[in-house]
Amino acid sequence: MADNKKTSILFIYTGGTIGMVQDQDTGALKPFRFDNILEEVPELRKFGFNLSSYAFNPPLDSSNISPDAWIKIAGIIEQNYHSFDGFIVLHGTDTMAFSASALSFMLENLGKPVIFTGSQLPIGSLRTDAKENLISSVEIAAAVKNGEPLVPEVGIFFENRLYRGNRTTKNNTEDFNAFMSGNYPPLAESGVHIRYNYSAIRYATHEPLIVHQKLDERLLILKLFPGISRQVVESAFSIGGIRAVILETFGAGNAPEHDWFIQLVKEACGQGIIVMNVTQCNTGSVEMGMYETSRRLAVAGVVNGRDITTEAAVTKLMYLTGVSDDPAWIVKHLSMSLRGEMTV
């Protein structure tokens, strides 16, 4: 545990269910004033940390989160990077996996914890999961070993697990356990103690933090289904200015073998549109060439997304196409694991 007097944590409250309380008169859920967090969760005082907060105004339901909000979060972290030991981003669960993935790419050489959390029930409700999520996130964000942060990563803490943010997907609208990380083990699990999985955590190189704030949103996800028509595929690839298409494929990266389909993909790749193969499955990897149905995609110029999540693929592409206009450079970096987002 860090020297309590010196440990300081910055909360960045973006919105979401976690920040809701019940209006005493109407019973309806409304956002609470985040500067009153210590009144809502007085247990936080027991840490004895210096806790500060920055609240989005108005708070956003996470369905309204956009790259502008990610740029804002990254900017707040950059401005406060040297004054705080850790950062906690309170966020709606619906798009949390996208936001955590985006921040992982935007914060190059991150050397401090950035822990996203939220809740399924509002902080003001009796059975809320918010308090536990919040308290454990604070403990993780403050944890140090030999004077160094224990988890210098963008993570998502939910229920009893800390996941690498860019490996997560929201997979449950109902349970307190709302997220999964199908292809990477938890970075920590909380029970009586918080047990850290040291060998799974990425440790920083101690290079200075670089914050990337240019994201290019001109991409789309084309989810395949049996019967997808030529017209649909053609329209997707011919959207003006489109720079990248994520092909969400079947199983281990398979797609229909129709000549028209392969031809359209090939033409798109030839025009410098990045086409990336990401599986529709939550667990497991694309294996281009395992079946004829994926071998033809590889020949057409499609990039192997391996075991990346769709959320990480979207945000990695936004980041890389924001940095460069050169398709060869983008493909090269897409194929590398930049922040531990895929297994290579």
Binding site for ligand ASP (CB under 6 A): 16-17, 61-63, 92-94, 118
β-strands 8-13, 86-90: how paired? parallel
Q: Whole-number minimum distance, CB 205 to ligand ASP, in Å?
A: 33
Please, is 321 exposed, middle or buried when counting C-beta atoms within 10 Å of its C-beta (0-12, 13-18, 19+)? buried
Give the CA-trace dihedral at 280, 284, 286, 290, to 10 degrees.
-120
For the bound state, the minimum distance from the C-beta of residue 60 to ligand ASP, rounded and expressed in Å, comes to: 7
Q: Quote the tokens at residue 49.
A: 């940390």
Quick one: tokens of 8?
């300081």
Of the two residues 97 and 233, which places its CB atom closer to ligand ASP in the complex? Answer: 97
Q: Output DSSP code: residue 46.
A: G
Instruction: Tell me whether residue 93 or residue 294 sits nearer to ligand ASP (CB atom).
Output: 93
**Of residues 10 and 69, the one with the C-beta less far from ligand ASP:** 69
95 is catalytic: no
- The residues, ordered by sequence, that sit 6+ positions from 33 with a Cβ below 8 Å of its Cβ are 55
How does DSSP classify residue 287? -
Q: Compute the least distance from the CB of residue 262 to ligand ASP, in Å.
A: 38
Helix (H, G, I), strand (E, B) or coil at 92: coil
Which tokens hold the place of 145?
């070993």
DSSP E strands, 35-125 = 50-55, 86-90, 107-108, 114-117
Q: Shortest gap between Cβ of 334 and ligand ASP (angstroms)?
A: 28
Tokens found for residue 139: 């403990």
Residue nearest to ligand ASP (CB): 92
Cβ proximity to ligand ASP: between 61 and 267 the closer is: 61
Task: Find the helix or strand (DSSP H, E) in which 195 lies.
Answer: strand 194-196
Q: State which residue, 119 or 309, has the beta carbon closest to ligand ASP.
A: 119
Which residues lie closer than 8 Å to 107 by C-beta, 6 or more apart?
A: 74, 77, 114, 154, 209, 210, 211, 212
Query: One of 17, 128, 249, 310 is an active-site residue; which one?
Result: 17
Of 59 and 340, nearer to ligand ASP (C-beta) is: 59
Closest approach, Cβ 190 to ligand ASP, in A, equals: 20
Q: From the CB of 278, what's the least distance to ligand ASP, in Å?
A: 23
**Which amino acids are annotated catalytic?**
17
